[in-house]
Structure 1
Amino acid sequence: MFKSLIVILFGLSLALTCTAQQKFIWLTDSSPDQQPQQYRQALDVNGVTLDLLMQGVSDFKAEAVQTTTERAMAMLKTEASACAGNRLKNAERLTFSYATAIPHTVFPGLRLYSKSPSKTTAWLKQQLNDQQQLSLQHLLESDHKLHFAVGGGRSYGEQLDTLLKQPQWQHKFWQRRSVDMSAGLIDMLVQSRVDLLIEYPNVMQHYLAQQSTDTQLTSFSIQEAEPYMLGYILCAKTPEGQKLTDFFEQRLQILSQQKRYLDAHLAWVDAADREQLTGLYNQVFGTSF
């Protein structure tokens, strides 16, 4: 009788433990189980930072699901317990998701890339303003026949998103939608299928280093782009999503003050850019590394 009671109590304890643990979907464009056709190592900032955020945590358990940006945003609308990291926060996304108040990631801002020996680059240098920046609106309004590579469903920040959505310029944009979107967009530029690419410097460095050929690119500062990118964790706009958002905010508040979280960022930029990124990190998170 006593043994039976012990078994019952153990079973109840196990059931309560399992019930208390909230499982959630972590939407990412890269995964440890990535498909073979992804021929290059993905820039897995999501995975590295998630590992740090989940260390020692028993109340929540993440299940990584590899998907495109568009699909990730759609799943935040349909899955009760789902989150996506390293995402720009904008008005549209906040209609269907909660966002952490504290950033998940910080990296230098978007730049415009072209192939160095091209006529396009020579022309772009003539379009620089007094601040040595290019205005994307000016480029789009010009008669110069330029084609841009852009990511389908991706947000580039409010000002750039507004320009990229204008119907009169859609013929200038060649969109790519896939789980290896960034690598594919860079390929389009390297192979001269497009003239220009808007991308983050750390992403360009990561994928270009894996190219078999040495391609010389020139980058330009964009007038309408933010000086640095803040990525947030977005979670489904549900009670479960609110709980996850609160959890991640608490974890980010602690971890962002630790050197190992900065190191997770520094691992994805060239050595020459680490001082700049450390300065941005200190500015955003109030640290002094």
Structure 2
Amino acid sequence: MLRAFLVVFILSLFSSPVIANTINWLTHDFAPYYILNGENKHQGRDESIISLLEKQLPNITFNRILIPSGRVIQELSNTSANTCALSLYKNSFREERIYFTDESSTTGLSPAVAMHIKLSRALKLPADKAVSLASLITADKLTLGISMSRSYGNEIDTLINTTPDINLIIRPTRDSLASLTYMLNLKRIDLLLGYPSEHYYLAKSMNFDKNLTQRPLLESPELSYGYIGCTKNQQGAKHIALLNEQLKIIKQTQAYTQILMRWLPAHLKIKLKTRIAETKNAT
């Protein structure tokens, strides 16, 4: 009897107005998107956008849950839970398991590779031109470092997953980029795949910015879009519909634009602003 009562009680909680009016956000220790410590604490890009949404929805409780970044997709795919996460790539595997907003939650420069300045000079790579990741890891046989369980877009994901005999170093997602950036500075890997703001923030914070440089990739589009994903159940569908409408509102604000630019160096801020403007004009 007691066990049956507890089951009914728990089920009633998940159908209660309290649960319905709560959005559980999956967050993780991953600068510069979520910054949990130091002088820039809580100034991460994604956590700041969540805060903008929170201000737009004063009647909804925002509950932040800290988990390893490598578990985000797994947790979102659990239909017995009710969670959401910001700034996710859409792909067919994920869309089978997770609801996504139609409206993007973040816009940024597409994946790039970081490398040691000495290597870029040895390869004679111009500072202002995109490079071919396929050529670097096949023809040049360079060792590539990546974080586990991340998606970098269909073309790059396919390249990494289907190209045989490449030198690939994969690190678990907790502090993986910091660990890989450290290895890059020591020349234990040749290339590090990530995003421009990540490369810039980590190189700067680790005092490696004089040693490391980055290049955009020919296999990437000019802009990278992230979306909000929520659990694929009835409550998740409601959250997605609500958040999709709120994204349309906050994306018209100066505060939102400033957050997107926050962790980019000056020349990349200009590039991102220009590309966003070009995209808007094209539509």
TM-score of Structure 1 vs Structure 2, range by shorter chain? 0.7 to 0.9
- Is 1:99 aligned with 2:134? no
Query: Following the alignment from structure 1 to structure 2, what is the Cα–Cα distance between the partners of residues 23 and 227?
Result: 36
Residue 132 of structure 2: which of 132, 135, 140 is its match?
135
Aligned positions of 1:105-144 closer than 5 A:
105-118=106-119, 121-123=121-123, 125=125, 132-142=129-139, 144=140
Matched AA of 1:148 = L
C-alpha change, 1:213 and 1:139, in structure 2 (3 Å) is closer
C-alpha change, 1:121 and 1:43, in structure 2 (3 Å) is farther
Gaps of 5+ in 1: 1-15
Task: Note if contact 2:130-2:217 (Cα within 8 Å) is conserved in structure 1.
Answer: yes
Query: Following the alignment from structure 1 to structure 2, what is the Cα–Cα distance between the partners of residues 33 and 208?
Result: 15
Matched AA of 1:93 = R
SS at match of 1:125: coil
Report Cα offsets for 1:60-113 as digits up to 9, x if no partner. 322222223320100011153111111111111111111111110111112222
Residue 135 of structure 1, CA deviation: 2.3
- TM-score (normalised: structure 2): 0.81
- Count the aligned residue pairs: 264
Q: Which residue of 2 aligns with 1:229?
A: 224
C-alpha change, 1:283 and 1:60, in structure 2 (3 Å) is farther
Task: Note if contact 1:112-1:196 (Cα within 8 Å) is conserved in structure 2.
Answer: yes
Query: Following the alignment from structure 1 to structure 2, what is the Cα–Cα distance between the partners of residues 239 and 17?
Result: 13
Query: Following the alignment from structure 1 to structure 2, what is the Cα–Cα distance between the partners of residues 103 and 270?
Result: 23
Bigger radius of gyration among the two: 1
Paired-residue identity, %: 22
SS at match of 1:165: helix
Residue 125 of structure 1, CA deviation: 3.1
Matched AA of 2:81 = A
Q: Provide the alpha-carbon RMSD of the alignment.
A: 3.1
Task: Note if contact 1:262-1:281 (Cα within 8 Å) is conserved in structure 2.
Answer: no
Aligned positions of 1:105-184 closer than 5 A:
105-118=106-119, 121-123=121-123, 125=125, 132-142=129-139, 144-166=140-162, 168-169=164-165, 172-184=167-179
- TM-score (normalised: structure 1): 0.80
Gaps of 5+ in 2: 1-14
SS at match of 1:168: coil
Query: Following the alignment from structure 1 to structure 2, what is the Cα–Cα distance between the partners of residues 67 and 284?
Result: 34
